[in-house]
Amino acid sequence: MAKGTVARTRSGSGVAAADPEMVQLLTPEGERVDHPDYSVDFSDEEYRNLYRDLVVVRRLDAESTALQRQGELGIWASLLGQEAAQVGSGRALRPQDMAFPTYREHGVLYCRGIDPIMPLGLFRGVDQGGWDPNEFKFNMYTIVIGAQTLHATGYAMGINMDGKVGSDDGEAVIAYFGDGATSSSARLASRSITARPASASRASGSTATTCSRPMRSPVRRSTMPATARARPSLRLTPTGWVRTRRRTTRRATASPARWTSGS
């Protein structure tokens, strides 16, 4: 058994599976580790281009952060500290590969050839993104935490069924998510779909994958007394963001419940 490989048995399947050996190319101190299967041989021009990408995306991120602080953008998800991970993975993608981002993969967006100004319209609230995911092979930004992992899983299952894998012109799928998505139900569901052993028919070449139904918490009716509550909110005006307060009162009336609002 190879070093770093641990044999284990899936519960209920009776099939022994082995964890692959961990591949580490950087030490915790950031030093390069040589690996026979993952050697890097870049030219000086390629190193300069990669470094230029890092500088450009960090400058774009700094400018967008300043615009958000000035009230020109509603929000801005910064990529500070993730430049190398995004540029490295973005440049490794081939033209036919598909990427599913969160809302901060501006470096990958830049590497896919999309105008880096386009996300500003999304975060300003004037459009839905503006680029064509099919043309650039880069999906729209996903605000819902972890939802892009389900999108990527479904897309990967589709290209697998189409037979677009395992060849030089085959497609690959990459999904980005952060620490907050590791415990989200969407990420766990996508992992369940990809981790479950498939029931394959060798004769027909078809593959069926099953997934257990995720548990849902029961919906409980609120027992909060009918009192007036002042809810602060923000409203974007031509002169900037304005804080407003809206008073909402729930009245105890016959079903169905009626809601009245007043300023």
The domain tally of the chain equals 1
Beta bridge partners of 175: 100
pLDDT classification of 209: cutoffs 50, 70, 90: very low
Task: Please count the CA atoms within 13 angstroms of the CA of 251 that sit on its side-chain side.
Answer: 8
Residue 180 belongs to a domain: yes
pLDDT at residue number 210: 33
Residue 55 confidence (pLDDT): 97
pLDDT for position 203: 30
> Is 226 within a domain?
no
Higher pLDDT, 1 or 93: 93
- Assigned domain for 107 exists: yes
Q: What is the mean pLDDT of the chain?
A: 76
**Across residues 65-80, what is the average pLDDT?**
95
Q: What is the pLDDT of residue 15?
A: 52
3-state secondary structure of 244: strand
Confidence (pLDDT) at 234:
63
How would residue 25 be classed by pLDDT, with cut points 50, 70 and 90?
A: confident
**Quick one: pLDDT at residue 178?**
86
Residue, of 191 and 180, whose pLDDT is higher: 180
Q: For residue range 217-240, list pLDDT tens digits in order.
A: 333 444 444 444 445 566 666 666
Q: Is residue 14 part of a domain?
A: no
Of residues 3 and 182, more confidence is placed in: 182
**What is the pLDDT, as a whole number, of residue 181?**
83
Query: Nearest 5°: phi and psi at 23?
Result: -105, 120
Q: Does 201 have pLDDT greater than 60?
A: no
- Residues 60, 110: contact at Cβ < 8 Å? yes
Closest CA to 101 of 154, 136, 139, 75: 139
pLDDT at 204: 29
pLDDT, tens digit, 9 for 90 and up, residues 115-166: 999 999 999 999 888 899 999 999 999 988 889 999 999 999 999 999 998 8
The Cβ-side half-sphere exposure at 28, using a 13 Å CA radius, reads 0
Q: Does 68 fall in a domain?
A: yes
* CATH number for position 113: 3.40.50.970
Q: Higher confidence at residue 194 or residue 44?
A: 44
Residue 250: inside a domain: no
Number of neighbouring beta carbons within 10 Å of residue 2: 7
Q: What digits encode the pLDDT tens for the residues 73-128?
A: 999 999 999 999 999 999 999 999 999 999 999 999 999 999 999 999 999 999 88
User: Does residue 163 lie in a domain region?
Assistant: yes
- Mark out the alpha helices in the chain (DSSP H runs): 44-69, 83-92, 106-111, 118-124, 133-136, 147-161, 185-195
Q: Which of 19-33, 64-78, 243-257 has the highest mean pLDDT?
A: 64-78
φ and ψ at 72, to 5 degrees? -80, -25
Inside any domain, residue 13: no
Domain containing residue 118? 42-195
